[in-house]
Each structure stands twice: as structure tokens, then as C-alpha cells.
Amino acid sequence: MNVFLFDIDGTLIDAGGAGQEAMEAALAHEFGASGPVSGIHTAGRTDRAIAMDLFQFHGIDINDEHWSRYQQTYFRLLPNSLKTRSGAVLPGVISLLERLSPREDVRLGLLTGNFAEGAKLKLDHYGLFDHFEFGGFGDNHVDRDDVARDAFRKVQGHLPAIQPDSIWVIGDTPSDIRCGRAIGAKVVAVATGMFGAHELEPHRPDVLLKDLREADAWLQAAGLRQ
């Protein structure tokens, strides 16, 4: 059995900035926080980590009530941002998922910094959600390595005999590569997000692809092609 754990933003889709727009709109709605945000990186980070930085940037207390208001409003606003921003499914993704999904020897999951509900909203919008059976999400963790450990536990729940080296983590940032290593998985880096191939290569992924249209070469080389 082989398990493929996909990152979302920059790997499966480019949501056209919908996530960031909805996050900022949620802060404005709930807390009146507005104005340009600077110095907060998003690529490869968890939504929990990004939101905590945004709260701090705007001087908003981080407590359970604020957190819940923020999340609920983000989830309410995200579908509209997805509709109005010009995002897209990234090259090669649909064809790859359609080929992998029906296979008996493959299970598909997510390993993403997105909140679980945000991941569902984004992937539903692009018609991709039903391909994925389980996942690790960014609701509770600041460190992406902890999300990977969660995802690994989920995989073990479904497949108790799974070995880490039968798991492939597919992502677009150095953090994706690192978190794959944290669970002993193999890593495919794709240069379809914020990082070019020359920036990903020094982090030594097992496989480096320009985009997922090149997935066949990887599957073939890894003996995973059918």
C-alpha cells in the first residue's frame, strides 16, 4: 500500500489569494482590524500560526472566544472569496488524482496547514475534496511537523501496518519537505507555489518536479506507475 499526502495551496490549487483575503476580512468584521499587514509569511505555515501572527499584529487578544469568532467568520467568508478571486487547479493535478483515486494499492490524504474546514471549503470549490480520505490539518498546531505527525497517526488508524517509507508527502515549500522528513516519509517537491525549483532543491526532496504534469516520471521511477 502507498499513501500520498498532498499539501493544498501551491500544490493542488492556487486559490488566487482567497484564503488571505477571507482571513483579513474576518479580522475586519469581528475586530475592526484593518490596514495593510506586513511581515507575515504564509507559505508552508499553518493557519493557526498565521492567524496568531495576525492577531498579534493587530493587537487582538488570543483567547478561546476571539479564536472561535475569527474561525467561524473566516469559514463563512471563504466561499465568497473563492468565487471572486481568480484561482485555479494547478497543472496536472486533476489527471493525477483521477488516475490515483481508483487504485487499490493507493490511498490519498491531505497534509496541509489549512484549518480542516478551510481545506474542505477550498477543495470543494474546485471539486477535489472527495478524492481524499484522511488528513492532518493546521487547526491546533503552529509547527507543520506536528501536522505531519497528526497525519501519520491518521494514516496508521486506517492502515496499522503502514511503513513511513510507503508514504509520500507532496508539497511546494521547504516546510513541506521538512515535515515529510519528520515522519520518515518520502517527499515530492513541486515548484508550483512561491518557491522555484532552485530554492527547493537545496532542501533535498526525494523528487523535484516543475509541476504535477511531470508526475508520471516520478511514479515510473518509484515503481508506482500502473
Query: Is 186 in contact with 199 (CB distance < 8 Å)?
Result: no
Q: Decide if residue 47 touches Mg ion (CB under 5 A).
A: no
> Which range binds Mg ion by CB under 5 A, 3-11, 153-161, 162-170, 198-206?
3-11
Judged by CB, which is closer to Mg ion: 42, or 73?
42
162: its cell numbers: 503502514
| Smallest distance from Mg ion to CB 74, Å | 18
94: its cell numbers: 486533476
Q: Decide if residue 87 touches Mg ion (CB under 5 A).
A: no
Distance CA 51, CA 102 (A): 36
Q: Which residue has the cell 496568531?
A: 52
Judged by CB, which is closer to Mg ion: 60, or 167?
167
> Which range binds Mg ion by CB under 5 A, 17-25, 46-54, 137-145, 172-180?
172-180
Position among 2, 3, 5, 9 found at the interface with Mg ion (CB under 5 A): 9
Judged by CB, which is closer to Mg ion: 21, or 172?
172
Distance CA 85, CA 81 (A): 6
| Smallest distance from Mg ion to CB 60, Å | 26
Q: Decide if residue 10 touches Mg ion (CB under 5 A).
A: yes
Alpha-helical (H) ranges within the chain are 18-31, 47-58, 64-84, 93-100, 116-125, 144-158, 174-182, 197-200, 215-221
> Which range binds Mg ion by CB under 5 A, 49-57, 60-68, 88-96, 169-177?
169-177
Position among 7, 14, 24, 47 found at the interface with Mg ion (CB under 5 A): 7
| Smallest distance from Mg ion to CB 138, Å | 11
Judged by CB, which is closer to Mg ion: 12, or 60?
12
Query: Is 159 in contact with 107 (CB distance < 8 Å)?
Result: yes
Judged by CB, which is closer to Mg ion: 10, or 138?
10
Position among 24, 47, 139, 172 found at the interface with Mg ion (CB under 5 A): 172
Distance CA 55, CA 204 (A): 34
Burial class (CB in 10 A: 0-12, 13-18, 19+), 46: buried
Distance CA 117, CA 72 (A): 10
92-111: which residues touch Mg ion (CB under 5 A)?
none
> Which range binds Mg ion by CB under 5 A, 19-27, 66-74, 100-108, 166-174?
166-174
CA distances from 105 to 13, 206, 207 (A): 25, 21, 20
Tell me, what amino acid is at 205?
Answer: P
Give contact residues for Mg ion (rule: CB under 5 A): 7, 9-10, 172
